[in-house]
Structure 1
Amino acid sequence: MSISTSSRKKWNEFSVDEKDRIVRMAWEDRTAFESIKEQFGLTPNETIKFMRTQLDEKAYRRWRERASNKGHLKHEAQRPFVEGRFKCSRQRIDGSTKGWK
């Protein structure tokens, strides 16, 4: 899977905090790819390629397996519920979750 120059340029415009936030959102089961697209402009395919560049190989494979198994939660059209917010009620404004180190 090759990564285009335009994708790399787009990713280089993100700050370190934004890159970290994208990775955290992608790992969250209930954050849809559409939410990532709305906030950061990355399509689901671009998000997958972005994750490949940000994670080591083993973590990437683990994430892909998890995202595939929980695919019904990662796409808004397939979700069994309607959610009107981007974050969990336990999540702080900076994106960190209470109780996590």
Structure 2
Amino acid sequence: MSLSDPSVPKYHTANFTPAELSRIIEMAWEDRTPFEAIQRIFGLNESAVVQLMRRELKSSSFRMWRQRMAGRVTKHQQLRSPEISRAYCPSQYKR
């Protein structure tokens, strides 16, 4: 699938505030935050998140992220244990 593929949704970083972009990138890096949570909150499916990460990260950071995410069961809601119903750890956010 290429970036010019019409099945890949287009997004524009201008649609997100810097804080939202930062949060999307943070959620994408988190091991236990599934792509479905990002889609539910920001409307970006997995392909759009990959596209965003490719544009926003340095190429070496993007490659490291893709390698880290490859085959990670926790990044996909349907592959997770049904006992886990939350998208993130309750203690994850700084208060």
TM-score range, shorter chain: 0.7 to 0.9
TM-score, with structure 2 as normaliser: 0.82
**How far apart are the structure 2 equivalents of 1:75 and 1:5?**
19
1:32-43 equivalence runs, <5 A:
32-43=34-45
Structure-2 residue corresponding to 1:2: 3
**How far apart are the structure 2 equivalents of 1:79 and 1:44?**
16
User: Residues 31-83 of structure 1, C-alpha deviation per residue, up to 9 Å, x if partnerless?
Assistant: 0000000000001000000000111000000000000131x111100113533
Normalized per residue, the structure richer in helix is: 1
Letter of the 2:21 partner, please give it: K
Letter of the 1:73 partner, please give it: T
The one of the two structures with greater contact order (alpha-carbon pairs below 8 A, sep at least 6) is 2
In the alignment, structure 2 segments of 5+ residues that lack a partner are: none
Structure-1 residue corresponding to 2:76: 75
How far did residue 13 of structure 1 move? 1.2
State the superposition RMSD in angstroms. 2.2
In the alignment, structure 1 segments of 5+ residues that lack a partner are: none
Change (3 A) 1:81 1:19: same
TM-score, with structure 1 as normaliser: 0.78
